[in-house]
Amino acid sequence: MLTQMMENQFPDFDNKELFGELEASLAKYGCCDDSYRGDVSPKLANDEFVVFVDFADEGAREMGGEMLTVYKRTDTDSLETCLFSTDLPEMVVEHFAKYYDESGLCLWGPKAIALRFDYRLRDELGDEEYQEVLKRNRTASEGVCHSHDFCDANMVMEEALIDVLGSCEVMDNDEHTELWNKAWDFWKQSSR
């Protein structure tokens, strides 16, 4: 299942078997080979996480340490937070399993929040008004969402965020604000 990126970008990589096993295990979470020669080692990535798979030979590792390092991805494609490092691939798979449902949907990401918002908005408005919001959004200008014409949609989004994250500290927490904004963007795009 190895893809060409890792093989092309890291022809001397000595941990291809582990990389292939992780690629196969994480594919259901949207992870794919995102290797780039400018990085210290090959990596697998999806919208939320990046997993660096380092060389098996510790002497070949640029930074030393464990073979596998998981980062949380940000909007800017820089790596915001190192979540953990390990030599155990099953820990990486368990990490992904905690954050995704059976269908591969991230349980805390913007898509999950947007889906919860959609559910709550339908419940709040009823079918007729909900369909009208969708109709108006199809012709709305960038940045406009007509859900606000029928209810306090910010309160609905706050409830969706609480449903998914267990709290809502939008004014005090940059990470929650980023999720809030991404969820709005995802919902508006998908509702057009």
pTM (two decimals) = 0.64
Q: Are 160 and 183 in contact (CB under 8 A)?
A: yes
Q: What is the dihedral of CA 59, 64, 79, 109, to 10 degrees?
A: 100
CA 21 to CA 106: how far, in whole Å? 21
Q: Given this model, what pLDDT does residue 4 score?
A: 77
3-state helix, strand, coil split of the chain in percent (to 5) is: 50, 15, 35
3-class DSSP state for residue 70?
A: strand
Q: Please check whether residue 50 is in contact with residue 64, taking contact to mean a CB–CB distance below 8 angstroms.
A: no
Query: pLDDT value at position 111?
Result: 83
Q: Which amino acid, one-letter code, is at 174?
A: D
Q: Nearest-CA neighbor of 185 among 110, 132, 75?
A: 110
Look at residue 23 in the predicted model and tell me its pLDDT: 95
Backbone angles phi, psi at 189, to 5 degrees: -65, -45
Predicted local confidence at residue 3, as pLDDT: 62
- The CA-atom distances, in angstroms, between 100 and each of 25, 43, 191 are 13, 19, 23
pLDDT for position 95: 87
pLDDT, block means (10 residues), the chain with 192 residues: 79 94 93 92 91 94 87 67 89 88 77 88 93 92 89 93 71 72 87 72
Dihedral angle sign, alpha carbons of residues 173, 175, 181, 184: negative
What is the rounded distance in angstroms from the CA atom of residue 176 to the CA atom of residue 154?
14
